[in-house]
Amino acid sequence: MVLKNRKHLFNLFGSSIVILWLVLIGVLVRNVNSRGGSDNPNAIEGKISAIASPQRDWMEIYLKGQKVGYSMTQINPLGENYLIREEILLTLNLMGQPTSIYMVTRSVVDKRFFLRKFNFSMKSGVVSYKISGTVDDNVMQLEIGEGKAKRAEQLRLSDPPMIGAGLAPFFKGRHIEVGQSFKFPIFDPSTMALKELVVKVADRETLVIRRLEYSTFRLEAQMLGQPMTFWVDESGTVLKEKSVMGLTLIKSSAAMAPRDIEGGGGSDFYEMAAINVKGRLREPAKLIYLSLKVEGIAEEHFDTTILDKGRQRFRSGMIEVVQEKIPIMAGYTIPFEDRSGKMKLFLKPEFNIESDNEAITGKARDIAGNIRDPSFVARKMMTWVYKNVEKRPVISVPSALEVLKNRVGDCNEHAALLTALLRASGIPARVCVGIVYARGRFYYHAWTEGFLGRWISMDAALNQMPTDATHIKLVEGGLDRQVDILGLIGKLQLKVVDYRYD
């Protein structure tokens, strides 16, 4: 069964890495709040010209030189506000399967492009995701899902957010000069994260697109540890963007942008994001100890403390993983009594871990029955998810409730549903994202940890409890935390130093 599970793994690598990558698609024409060198986060320097008539911009999206999709952004004056509509279509090759992703964002912003309200939808195959929100005094009221499954959330933001194709109109109404810099806190509805983007006007440059020369400003940025470059002409129109993993956007037209998209037959996205390792591991599912030399981690963009917790040790560029032992006695019967309050975060529902939903709590009761031993119940729940969720790539924001409904997904969906079921039964649980070894490389992957007297890893996609020692945790938490992984893409370098089997 181990070999079979490892074969299945190639249909299980986390779609979260794709979703996080999508944050960088057109991010420079999305969400804007300028500080322009001022200490006041709401200060916008220079004269901004009002947009008096509807404007529409098209971009072609390329990955490693192959056209994989397009984006369209339209802005319309709406009284004292603007109405912005953005759509993105992508077709990616995910483990040999062509997968289309269609995203639409509609938003109302004021004349300074601060967000008033928005709705966002993402559809890929049978899976869809919807979220809408309104903003008042840095408090965002959200509605997630639709119909009877719709639920409300509240999100407090440190800065006034912006959304939609904000940067293009921002620069269209502004005189820029070489040497200027701007800071933008970026809110993305797919990850619910607010991250800072710093943009510098680096130089003047001649840009050639389809044999035509343009006089442009080259703008350089850093977001989530990844360099980004984009070019705008003297009118402020974005002509080209370039980002991580060979991602490039080029200005196009309504006639050309949707044509000749062949992303499903090109480079496999998961293989592109995979991490090469020096040294080979035989029968990795049986490993109980692994030592690796790690290079390429920039601590200013990634919190390395997670590498030195629980079953992991990180010292002087070396990481050691020791497969944990499940305690004979967990020290409690479910539900866990959180007298200290330390487990509150891991017992309550959260964004897309809907452990208080009737469907989730009902299924948790069905699986657990009258059993109160947390280790036994955790294994039953992991096995149930493993057997009942079809294993294939799904590009969406992983929601436990949607997974229970659709019974399909990759490792993210398995991890979300298992985490929700454990919490619903009274077992503290959390989602973990990191890397796992398969077929000579490390791939991004998601799993769950449950508190059974101590934190124990469990992988519902591979039916492992505890997980093998090649599961290396990089992040704990939801997509808002997982965006930190983007800073590692294309930079991690690994070398096998030592390993042991059971």
Helix (H, G, I), strand (E, B) or coil at 174: coil
For β-strands 312-315 and 318-322, DSSP reports them as: antiparallel
pLDDT tens, position by position, 113-163: 788 898 888 888 767 788 898 988 888 898 887 777 788 888 887 777 776
Given a cut of 80, is residue 259 above it in pLDDT?
yes
What is the model's pTM?
Answer: 0.84
CA distance 434 to 160: 31
**What are 153's strand-pairing partners?**
142
Higher pLDDT among residues 495 and 151, named by residue: 495
Write down the domain spans for the chain: 16-265, 274-501
Determine if residue 103 is left, alpha or beta; phi over 0 gives left, psi from -120 to 50 gives alpha, anything else beta.
beta
pLDDT tier for residue 300 given thresholds of 50, 70 and 90: low
Given a cut of 70, is residue 254 above it in pLDDT?
yes
For β-strands 408-409 and 390-391, DSSP reports them as: parallel
Please give the single-letter amino acid code of residue 52.
A
Higher pLDDT among residues 25 and 496, named by residue: 496
pLDDT tens, position by position, 406-416: 898 889 899 99
First CA to last CA distance, the chain: 17
Find, among 172, 124, 163, the residue nearest to 142 by Cα. 163
How would you write 252-313 as a 3-class SS string? ECCCCCCCCCCHHHCCEHHHHHCEEEECCCCCHHHEEEEEEEEECCCCCCCCHHHHHCCCEE
The pLDDT assigned to 397 comes to: 78
CA distance 461 to 443: 14
Percent of the chain with pLDDT over 70: 84
Tokens 């436990």, residue located: 400
The Cα-based distances of 419 to 25, 79, 236, 457, 482 in angstroms read 29, 46, 46, 11, 16
What one-character DSSP code corresponds to residue 459? B
Cis peptide before 374 (omega within 30 of 0): no
The pLDDT assigned to 12 comes to: 57
Helix (H, G, I), strand (E, B) or coil at 162: coil
Q: Are 92 and 263 in contact (CB under 8 A)?
A: yes
Given a cut of 70, is residue 168 above it in pLDDT?
no
The pLDDT assigned to 167 comes to: 63
Q: Per the structure block, which two tokens stand in for 230?
A: 């984009």
CA distance 205 to 217: 6
Extract long-range pairs of 106-109: CB within 8 Å, 24+ residues apart. Answer: 107/83, 107/163, 107/164, 108/78, 108/81, 108/82, 108/83, 108/84, 109/81, 109/82, 109/84, 109/162, 109/163, 109/164, 109/166
CA distance 217 to 240: 11
**What are 376's strand-pairing partners?**
none
pLDDT tens, position by position, 346-404: 999 988 899 999 999 999 999 999 999 999 999 999 999 999 999 887 777 788 998 99
pLDDT tens, position by position, 46-88: 445 577 889 899 999 998 888 999 999 898 999 999 998 989 8
* Neighbour-count burial of 313, counting CB atoms closer than 10 A to its CB (0-12 exposed, 13-18 middle, 19+ buried): middle
Tokens 């912005």, residue located: 84
CA distance 461 to 476: 17
> In CATH, what number does 274-501 get?
3.10.620.30
For β-strands 318-322 and 127-136, DSSP reports them as: unpaired
Find, among 291, 308, 309, 289, the residue nearest to 455 by Cα. 309
Please give the single-letter amino acid code of residue 202.
A
Degrees, nearest 5: CA angle 495-500-502: 145
